[in-house]
Amino acid sequence: MASMEGRVALITGASSGIGRSTAVAFSSRGASVVLAARRENELKLLAQEIEANGGKASCVVTDVSIAADVDRMVVHAIQTFGRLDYAVNNAGYEGIVASITKLPEETWDRVMDINVKGTYLCLKYEAKAMLDAKQNGAIVNVGSVNSFLGGAYFPAYCASKHALIGLTSSVSAELAPQGIRVNLICPGFIDTPMHQRGRQLLGDAIYDQKLLPRVHLRRAGRPDEIAKAIVFLCSEDASYITGSTLTPDGGLTLTL
């Protein structure tokens, strides 16, 4: 894969998991990275790690469900590094395990605010920055295998991730003629803090005996494996890929 020297990547949800690994992966290709999340201390530690390895990083505390925060995040990227080439809309919230009859309305609202509204707001301001600069760009939204598979007792999360398919397809159709590619990546079981929380909610027995055996590779994926796929989708090696869904899930969805 070609160097990304001189390019700038913005990653939301960068404080842990897939977002953290994605920031490191972009930096390893030479890109400057803008790290966005709600947890400032974790962002600062990651920025220090990237800079200690010779990279360039800047942090901006952001709640993607708040328009003013997202606007400020994108402005920060432009003011700090002078441009925006790649954006990864990774911030997400899983909610709780609950029956549809018992799911609190406030949980539904929070999941939708972060996963759907948050992605919409990021796309809105990222696309505007790229269009204003009259430059090509690439955006990757982060979905889940639950973007096309239902999961009992996860109605809000599954609905929010389903929504990203239509959102990605629509925005790709709009922006592709103007040189901006938009794709969706839908990981399976990936060993992240969110995944660990879900495993605890379901119980080790259900996870180990019922869910993991459905994965062809018989293991959870690593965050860096997803990060590499995201960087690929942003790179020139994926120059003819837009409006698409990539599903790095170890074969999970082929079994369910």
Report the pLDDT value the prediction gives residue 253, as an integer from 0 to 100: 85
CA distances from 71 to 61, 65, 189, 198, 255 (A): 12, 11, 32, 31, 41
Give percent of the chain with pLDDT exceeding 90: 80
Q: How confident is the model at residue 2 (pLDDT cuts 50, 70, 90)?
A: confident
Domains parsed from the chain with CATH numbers: 8-255 (3.40.50.720)
Model pTM above 0.85 = yes
At residue 75, does pLDDT exceed 90? yes
Nearest to 122 by CA among 66, 83, 166, 169: 66
- Cβ atoms of 91 and 140 within 8 Å: the answer is no
Two tokens, residue 84:
């925006």
Contact (Cβ atoms closer than 8 angstroms) between residue 77 and residue 8: yes
pLDDT tens digits, 22-53: 999 999 999 999 999 999 999 999 999 999 99
For the cut 60, the answer to whether the pLDDT of residue 256 exceeds it is no
Of 158, 144, 186, 190, which is closest to residue 18 (Cα–Cα)? 190
Which residue blocks in the chain are alpha helix, DSSP H?
17-28, 40-52, 67-81, 105-112, 118-132, 155-175, 193-202, 204-206, 223-234, 252-255
Identify the band that residue 86 occupies on the pLDDT scale cut at 50, 70 and 90.
very high
96-110: average pLDDT: 95
Q: Report yes or no: 183 and 233 within 8 Å, Cβ to Cβ.
A: yes
State the average pLDDT over residues 126-146.
97
Distance CA 252, CA 213 (A): 9
Average pLDDT in the 206-220 region? 80
**pLDDT value at residue 201:** 67
* Contacting residues for 138 by C-beta, under 8 A, at least 6 apart: 85, 86, 87, 180, 181, 182, 183, 233, 234, 235, 238
Reported as a pLDDT band with limits 50, 70 and 90, residue 202 is low
The pLDDT value given to residue 254: 73
Mean pLDDT, rounded, for 189-215? 76
Give the residue numbers annotated as catalytic, written as ranges: 157
Share the mean pLDDT of the chain. 94
The span from the CA of 186 to the CA of 229, in Å, is 10
Mean pLDDT value of segment 132-153: 93
Q: Which residues contact 23 (CB under 8 A, 6 or more apart)?
A: 9, 11, 14, 33, 35, 46, 50, 57
Closest among 217, 223, 166 to 193, alpha carbons compared: 223
198: pLDDT strictly greater than 80:
no
